[in-house]
Amino acid sequence: MMLFKELNRGKCKTYLISCEISKTAALIDPLKEHTDRYTAILAYFGLKLDLIIDTHTHADHRSGTFELKELLGGRVVMHRRAPAPRVDVHVDQGDCLDLGDLKLQVLYTPGHTPDSISLSAGDRVFTGDTLMIGGTGRADFAGGDAGAEYDSIVKKLFALPDKTIVFPAHDYRGHICSTIGAEKSSNPRLVGRSRADYIHIMNNLGLPLPDKIQEVLEPNQSALDDDAIKFPALSQLNQVQQLEPSEVARRLNSPLPPILVDVREGDEFIGELGHIAGSRLIPLRELSQRASDLDQFKSTEVVTICRAGVRSTTAAAILTALGFEHVFNMKGGMLDWNDAGLPVEKMN
């Protein structure tokens, strides 16, 4: 028994799925501008919001996940590679989310972004911006990878039964749904294309960046509003020098080790990923006000750190603009540091 609706009736899709026995609901890819509408719909059907899921970090609209959680409760769900703080449930390939009697199976489908997931529930699959109807998600910014996207679609989504109904996060031509079988046989980006063909097509689409991409992307990546922090411009972010975790570890063992500034929230600092010994915790939203604490290090090497290396790129650009001369970002953040097997501390 399942209640299912698309709630936006526009190019951006938000899906409501709920278990009619437990009266618990999930919202997939809610928009910040429509949180009032979602709240009213949930109340009308007498549903309790349990799962608030973003299929990836969106670049074209502000996510409503954190606002909905504040208003209604529920758990924010994203892939473990998602850069934002305050995600309650980090998921990965093969995980299963319970929604009353319903089960949502997580497929890790990177490519459009490094944190893209699809969700398979009974006879349908929510494909985010990985597989769209007669199209696929662009892979040319925000960590996109066309080869990874091809593998996600061909090896994971096309392994689902042909009759599986496909519900994407976007459609620009008025379609509502498709099937895996229909996309296999007629999606023009994929039919008869090798992986190399696909990469060539996707890397030469020549599309302009989405309108207001930075105004949308940075708040979604940091779960901060732009009245809480002044975000750097794209040109400033692009100039940030990146260091692999192994290189950070090497420099920490040198005679003049860098200063480490960890810009996550306090609970992340002592959470599952831990932190690097000796790092200073200054959450991103406090960085501009507290940068004077670091004044003595203006001529020292400073390495900024966060979960996935995204918020800390913002932090590195902010410190550089404040006159710090040798700022680096640790690429891939504490996720890549942990994946490299480098040592962490988990206590304050």
Q: Which stretch binds Fe ion (CB under 5 A): 124-132, 198-206, 216-224, 298-306?
A: 124-132
Least distance in angstroms from the C-beta of 82 to Fe ion: 13
Residue nearest to Fe ion (CB): 129
Place of tokens 């199976």: 105
Q: How far apart are the first and last CA of the chain?
A: 47
Least distance in angstroms from the C-beta of 59 to Fe ion: 6
Q: How many residues does the chain have?
A: 348
Residue 141: how many other CB atoms lie within 10 Å? 15
Q: Is 152 helix (H, G, I), strand (E, B) or coil?
A: helix
| Dihedral angle sign, alpha carbons of residues 186, 189, 192, 195 | negative
- Cβ proximity to Fe ion: between 129 and 218 the closer is 129
Residues in contact with Fe ion, total (CB under 5 A)?
A: 1
- Cβ proximity to Fe ion: between 28 and 287 the closer is 28
- Cβ proximity to Fe ion: between 33 and 36 the closer is 33
Q: Is 308 helix (H, G, I), strand (E, B) or coil?
A: coil
Q: What whole-number distance in Å separates Cα of residue 177 and Cα of residue 250?
A: 51
Burial of 154 (0-12, 13-18, 19+ CB in 10 A): middle
Residue 336 as a binder of Fe ion (CB under 5 A): the answer is no
Question: Is residue 259 within 8 Å of 294, Cβ to Cβ?
Answer: yes
| Dihedral angle sign, alpha carbons of residues 269, 305, 148, 168 | positive
Q: Which stretch binds Fe ion (CB under 5 A): 22-30, 46-54, 125-133, 308-316?
A: 125-133
Least distance in angstroms from the C-beta of 149 to Fe ion: 12
- Cβ proximity to Fe ion: between 18 and 221 the closer is 221
Q: Which stretch binds Fe ion (CB under 5 A): 76-84, 92-100, 122-130, 230-238?
A: 122-130
Least distance in angstroms from the C-beta of 6 to Fe ion: 17
Q: What whole-number distance in Å separates Cα of residue 321 and Cα of residue 287?
A: 12
Residue 100: how many other CB atoms lie within 10 Å? 18
Least distance in angstroms from the C-beta of 56 to Fe ion: 6
Interface with Fe ion in residues 291-320 (CB under 5 A): none
Residue 184: how many other CB atoms lie within 10 Å? 15
Query: Under the phi-then-psi rule, with left for phi > 0, alpha for psi from -120 to 50, and beta for the rest, what region is 326?
Result: beta
- Cβ proximity to Fe ion: between 33 and 98 the closer is 33
Question: Is residue 177 within 8 Å of 165, Cβ to Cβ?
Answer: yes
Least distance in angstroms from the C-beta of 79 to Fe ion: 13
Least distance in angstroms from the C-beta of 29 to Fe ion: 9
Residue 253 in tokens = 């063992």
- Cβ proximity to Fe ion: between 113 and 314 the closer is 113
Least distance in angstroms from the C-beta of 204 to Fe ion: 19
In one-letter notation, the amino acid at residue 337 is W
- Cβ proximity to Fe ion: between 115 and 129 the closer is 129
Least distance in angstroms from the C-beta of 30 to Fe ion: 14
Q: What whole-number distance in Å separates Cα of residue 86 and Cα of residue 88?
A: 6
Each residue 13-52 as x (binds Fe ion by CB under 5 A) or -, in order, gives ----------------------------------------
Residue 129 as a binder of Fe ion (CB under 5 A): the answer is yes
Q: Which stretch binds Fe ion (CB under 5 A): 129-137, 157-165, 277-285, 319-327?
A: 129-137
What are the residues binding Fe ion (CB under 5 A)? 129
